[in-house]
């Protein structure tokens, strides 16, 4: 499932969710309550949909599903298989566009991004009393630029469980029978962490806030992200977006307080600490930025694309030695990704090490998993070989 995942505003990259998983939320500490007690007069309050309404179907939509679900001719299938079959038929002509919709909207419009499809899946599961869960999948993100804002998509899949499963006596059950609903399974995807129900709901508000930022409506973006923080107060991606909104509102000092909180409480991510480092660098605190990047190195993150993202930004700034370090972390995390080896190759070449670059370029070409990528890397490999001869 693809969702808006990060927003870059010149200096800051922001991971929203929409689909990165986050630490489980709990009761906010007093320090967080104080942190978010900034002048609300900075923003005008907008309208926002409530969490339960995100997953509400119209009566006609629900009746159509339940009519199929309870039909006598379908009772030979387990309940979760009935849901899956109905959803597959319902989404056969679905247009996968980038907009985030509620369950009602996605059902009626027959379009939306993959978060919209996961929301629709959840709504149907609720109607049939079927349990769901969500898992982050680490796969290649999709980058979209609009003016000075860049959104980056990430991936989550949904599981639906058999509600009638009863284990045999004296048996150990690791988990109930389930079906994974993954709308765009990618060959390079790796399994990530579980996404809690609260963080999944927060993803909707993160996506809506991201759309509002792109549309230059900071008041509405603030309204959405405040609602998301009510659902999942400790969600680092929501706090990250709030920091971006405040930066665009010309209040970087409040944004810095948010990043400081994420850093000091240990719930910061690769993205948020990298953003904090960029904010310090922009403020002229290069030493502080270096210290934060050193902290980034200590984070254990199973998503190689986060390391690739950090490496790319260092490469763009011509910080080649730092970029190489993060490309190596990406390779260590997922040694089968061609992109990491390609990043190593071009960085080594620009660092004056063409022979080493050639070795990594060969590996990138060998691991390319789509024809377009293989063709591109083969051309680069040929050019590099020619330059060395």
Q: Give 130-139 pLDDT, tens digit per residue.
A: 999 998 776 5
Q: Alpha-carbon distance 315 to 212, whole Å?
A: 30
Residue 327 has pLDDT above 90, yes or no: yes
Higher pLDDT among residues 90 and 10, named by residue: 90
Closest CA to 309 of 154, 155, 148: 154
pLDDT band for 152, please (50, 70, 90 cuts): low
Q: What is the pLDDT of residue 23?
A: 37
Q: Alpha-carbon distance 34 to 31, whole Å?
A: 5
Q: Alpha-carbon distance 23 to 15, whole Å?
A: 14
In contact, 386 and 361? CB cutoff 8 Å = no
CATH no. for 2-294:
1.25.40.10
Q: For the whole model, what pTM was predicted? A: 0.77
pLDDT band for 243, please (50, 70, 90 cuts): very high
Residue 30 has pLDDT above 70, yes or no: no
Phi, psi of 93 (to 5 degrees): -105, 20
In contact, 305 and 140? CB cutoff 8 Å = yes
The ranges of the chain annotated as CATH 1.25.40.10 are 2-294, 303-388
pLDDT band for 357, please (50, 70, 90 cuts): very high
In contact, 343 and 364? CB cutoff 8 Å = no
Average pLDDT over residues 265-269: 83
Q: Alpha-carbon distance 285 to 183, whole Å?
A: 44
Fold of 303-388: 1.25.40
pLDDT above 90 as % of the chain: 43
3-state secondary structure of 1: coil
In contact, 51 and 38? CB cutoff 8 Å = no
Residue 189 has pLDDT above 60, yes or no: no
Higher pLDDT among residues 240 and 4, named by residue: 240
What residues contact 257, with CB distance under 8 A and at least 6 apart?
35
The least confident of 32-41, 118-127, 139-148, 241-250 is 139-148
The least confident of 8-17, 254-263, 311-320 is 8-17
In this structure, the number of other CB atoms found within 10 A of the CB of residue 47 comes to 7
């Amino acid at each position: 499932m693809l969702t808006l995942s990060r927003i870059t505003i010149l200096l800051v990259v922001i991971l929203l969710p929409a689909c990165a998983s986050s630490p489980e939320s709990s009761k906010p500490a007093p320090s967080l309550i104080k942190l978010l007690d900034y002048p609300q007069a900075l923003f005008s309050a907008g309208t926002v949909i409530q969490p339960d309404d995100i997953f509400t179907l119209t009566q006609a939509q629900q009746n159509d599903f339940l009519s199929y679900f309870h039909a006598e001719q379908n009772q030979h299938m387990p309940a979760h298989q009935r849901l899956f079959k109905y959803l597959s038929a319902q989404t056969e002509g679905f247009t996968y566009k980038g907009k985030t919709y509620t369950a009602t909207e996605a059902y009626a419009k027959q379009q939306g991004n993959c978060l919209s499809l996961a929301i629709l899946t959840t709504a149907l599961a609720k109607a049939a009393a079927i349990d769901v869960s969500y898992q982050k999948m680490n796969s290649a993100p999709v980058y979209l630029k609009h003016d000075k804002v860049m959104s980056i998509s990430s991936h989550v899949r949904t599981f639906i469980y058999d509600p009638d499963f009863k284990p045999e006596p004296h048996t150990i059950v690791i988990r109930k029978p389930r079906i994974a609903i993954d709308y765009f399974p990618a060959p390079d995807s790796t399994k990530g962490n579980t996404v809690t129900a609260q963080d999944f709901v927060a993803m909707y508000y993160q996506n809506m806030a991201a759309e509002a930022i792109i549309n230059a409506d900071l008041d509405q973006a603030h309204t959405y992200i405040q609602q998301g923080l009510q659902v999942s107060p400790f969600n680092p991606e929501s706090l990250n977006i709030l920091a971006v909104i405040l930066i665009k509102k010309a209040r970087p000092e409040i944004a810095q307080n948010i990043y400081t909180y994420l850093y000091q409480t240990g719930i910061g991510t690769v993205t948020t600490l990298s953003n904090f480092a960029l904010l310090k660098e922009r403020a002229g605190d290069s030493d502080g930025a270096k210290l934060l990047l050193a902290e980034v190195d200590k984070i254990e993150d199973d998503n190689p694309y986060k390391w690739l993202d950090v490496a790319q930004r260092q490469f763009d700034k011509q910080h080649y030695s730092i970029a190489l370090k993060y490309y190596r972390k990406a390779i260590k995390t997922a040694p089968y990704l061609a992109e990491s080896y390609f990043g190593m190759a071009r960085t080594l070449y620009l660092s004056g090490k063409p022979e080493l670059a050639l070795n990594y370029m060969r590996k990138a070409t060998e691991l390319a998993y789509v024809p377009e990528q293989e063709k591109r890397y083969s051309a680069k490999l040929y050019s590099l070989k020619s330059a060395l001869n």
